Amino acid sequence: MNQPTFRAPKGTFDLVPPRGEAVLAVRDAMAGPVRRAGYGYVETPSFEETGLFARGVGESTDIVTKEMYSFTTRGGDDVSLRPEGTAPVLRAALENGLHRGALPVKLWYGGSYYRYERPQKGRFRHFSQVGAEVLGTEDPAVDAELIVLAMDAYRALGLTEVRVLINSLGSSESRPAYRDALQQFLRGLDLDEDTASRVEINPLRVLDDKRPDVQKALADAPLVTDFLSDGDRAHHDRVRRLLTDAGVPYDDDPRLVRGLDYYTRTLFEFVHDGLGSQSAVGGGGRYDGLSELLGGPRLPSVGWALGAERTLLAMEAEGLPLPGTPGVDVYLVPLGDDAERHAFGLVTELRRAGVAADVATGGRGLKGAMKAADRSGARYAVVVGERDLADGVAQVKDLRSGEQEPVALGDVRSHLITATSS
């Protein structure tokens, strides 16, 4: 057997049925709660100016220094495939003047993202996310709203073991004192050269280091929650109370940080313990200063991104069936040329009426066509032969009960619409 000449690039994957349908269903479930909450859809290009991510995500982050797919276009522009969604969405909002209208602006989006990472289960160089952002408000109720909406999405998919970790990174009122204390602690550790350089650029990046020996050394590191100002603490406590009021349990994690520089105050992560070391299925937080970093006005904001493939792995870890399995309600089996013409017209009418329908092609015999009907998952099979046409009927078979009845050709469409809607 000949091997294919080309394969998907290392660290990427193809989505083919039924998994492709399952990921699509996961994305739809993630988007459902935010759409019902009045969030509007935004879509940005798959690539942006590299400077957008260097300035927004942070020049010291692994994403910018090691993981971006960056290149120079034929016109001499330095661009990168988007490694995350928040900076592009905020750029789009500023460029299109959304911040000049009524605030807050609530947006959601979805798509593919790209990072040059070491491929492993749950971590790929190409992945898809659904994200939501609220721009232009400091209200802690919005932080809590986003967390609740994300948990509603996970619950809609049947997941019961997703946990929420929350923390506060403080604001400009709290961060300087904490930064000084953390740097002083980290300078006393025996760190490798690369990690030691991060201490001077952004010490929070060291806290995000997942290596066991580094985490062990950080056991006595100062906690940001011990340095929160009264205002930052009140904001964080309000988020926690609102989550409790909404019936969403959470775990306080004073060591939680994330791999992006723009976060302030509220920080959260959704984790699933059934996924091993790659336990995060989504996360986000507040980024009150990002707009100004990108040259815009002060625009306090908060958002999250949920990973579609990671979420599907979590569903498999809980033994849940794949969502969105493709299938049809009606499968037409024409026997003969005249029957094929009639079936083609009927299947078109059914589809236009909103009925999921398919038709056997290629001149299959009755036995082969009925096997195809079973594989399609259809509830009803409609058999039309030359004798049926002469009699003015079609044979409609309920594939679950096995019952079959002749239905007048002029009534088949309405009969099937009624049957599939019940």
Least Cα distance to 220 among 190, 186, 196, 244 occurs for 186
Is 133 marked as binding a ligand? yes
Is 327 marked as binding a ligand? no
The DSSP secondary structure of 247-298, one letter per residue, reads T---EE-TT---S-TT-EEEEEEEEEGGGTT--EEEEEEE-TTHHHHTT---
Residue 250 CA to residue 266 CA, distance in Å, equals 13
Least Cα distance to 244 among 159, 136, 166 occurs for 166
Residue 158 CA to residue 366 CA, distance in Å, equals 39
Residues 6+ away with beta carbon under 8 Å from 372:
331, 360, 364
Compute how many other C-beta atoms are within 10 angstroms of the C-beta atom of residue 137: 18
Compute how many other C-beta atoms are within 10 angstroms of the C-beta atom of residue 403: 9
State the burial class of residue 101 (Cβ atoms within 10 Å of its Cβ: 0-12, 13-18, 19+): exposed
Is 258 marked as binding a ligand? yes
Least Cα distance to 43 among 101, 82, 79, 88 occurs for 88
Compute how many other C-beta atoms are within 10 angstroms of the C-beta atom of residue 247: 8
Is 129 marked as binding a ligand? yes
Residues 6+ away with beta carbon under 8 Å from 300:
136, 137, 138, 286, 288
- Specify whether the CB–CB gap between 302 and 133 falls below 8 A: yes
Check whether the bond before 18 is cis (ω within 30° of 0): yes
SS3 assignment for 171-222:
CCCCHHHHHHHHHHHHHCCCCCHHHHHHHHHCCHHHHCCCCHHHHHHCCCCC
**Crossing angle of helices 412-421/337-352, nearest 10°?**
50
Is 263 marked as binding a ligand? yes
Q: What's the DSSP call for residue 166?
A: E
**Crossing angle of helices 140-156/19-36, nearest 10°?**
140
Residues 6+ away with beta carbon under 8 Å from 420:
329, 330, 355, 356, 379, 380
| Residue 401 backbone zone (phi > 0: left; psi -120 to 50: alpha; other: beta) | alpha
Is 262 marked as binding a ligand? yes
Is 195 marked as binding a ligand? no
Residue 250 CA to residue 164 CA, distance in Å, equals 5
- Output the known binding site for L-histidine: 84-86, 115, 129, 133, 258, 262-263
- Output the known binding site: 84-86, 115, 129, 133, 258, 262-263
